């Protein structure tokens, strides 16, 4: 039985944005593929939920961010269970990758809605009005949320830096 043409159409329309979203949070292509596969497998087996019908792009995007954050949290749990495996070099170099790792960890501690907004703003370069459309809220609410999220994110990153 071939994959339904509507399903393929849906996949082709959104897969690249979802993959980039997952990749930017996980910094790992294989994990990003897993996220993409999980999102569409759920739709394949469970059909389209009501939220999806109202706003397909928003639904899929939220799913990509939330699943990526779940993966980051799972990595962290694994890391604390087996600290040797993820030992950080003693002479730590402040690289972009390192900062991004810390940023991803901090984003996983933020509430998912805030992370969704931050990724749309700073990865996909959407304007506040476009973010509001995708997430189904007002531009004012996005601006306020963004301001508070950045403030919280700053605290989280400082705390992570001090811990390391």
Residues lying near other proteins in the complex (CB under 8 A) are found at: 1-4, 6-12, 15-16, 19-20, 23-24, 29, 32-33, 36-37, 40-41, 43-48, 53, 94, 96, 99-100, 103, 118-119, 121-125, 128-129, 132, 138-140, 143-144, 146-148, 150-151, 153-154, 157-158, 161
Closest approach, Cβ 67 to other proteins, in A, equals: 13
Nearer to other proteins, 118 or 135 (CB): 118
Nearer to other proteins, 29 or 74 (CB): 29
Q: In this structure, what token pair is assigned to residue 38?
A: 């999980």
Q: How far is CA 12 from CA 3, 8, 18, 128, 154, in A?
A: 13, 6, 11, 25, 36
Contacts of 153 (CB under 8 A, 6+ apart): 103, 106, 107, 110, 114, 118
Closest approach, Cβ 12 to other proteins, in A, equals: 8
Nearer to other proteins, 75 or 101 (CB): 101
* Helical spans, DSSP H, in the chain: 5-26, 29-46, 50-54, 56-81, 96-109, 112-122, 128-135, 139-163
């Amino acid at each position: 039985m071939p994959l339904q043409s509507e399903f393929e159409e849906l996949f082709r329309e959104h897969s690249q944005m979802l993959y980039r979203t997952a990749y930017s949070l996980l910094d790992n292509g294989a994990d990003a593929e897993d996220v993409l596969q999980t999102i569409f497998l759920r739709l394949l087996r469970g059909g389209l939920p009501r939220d999806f019908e109202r706003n397909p792009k928003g639904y899929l995007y939220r799913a990509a961010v939330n699943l990526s954050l779940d993966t980051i949290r799972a990595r962290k749990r694994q890391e604390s269970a087996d600290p040797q495996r993820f030992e950080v070099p003693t002479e730590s170099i402040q690289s972009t990758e390192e900062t991004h790792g810390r940023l991803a960890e901090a984003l996983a501690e933020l509430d998912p809605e805030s992370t969704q907004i931050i990724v749309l703003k700073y990865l996909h370069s959407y304007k506040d009005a476009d973010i509001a459309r995708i997430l189904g809220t007002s531009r004012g609410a996005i601006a306020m949320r963004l301001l508070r999220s950045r403030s919280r994110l700053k605290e989280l990153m400082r705390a992570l830096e001090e811990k390391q």
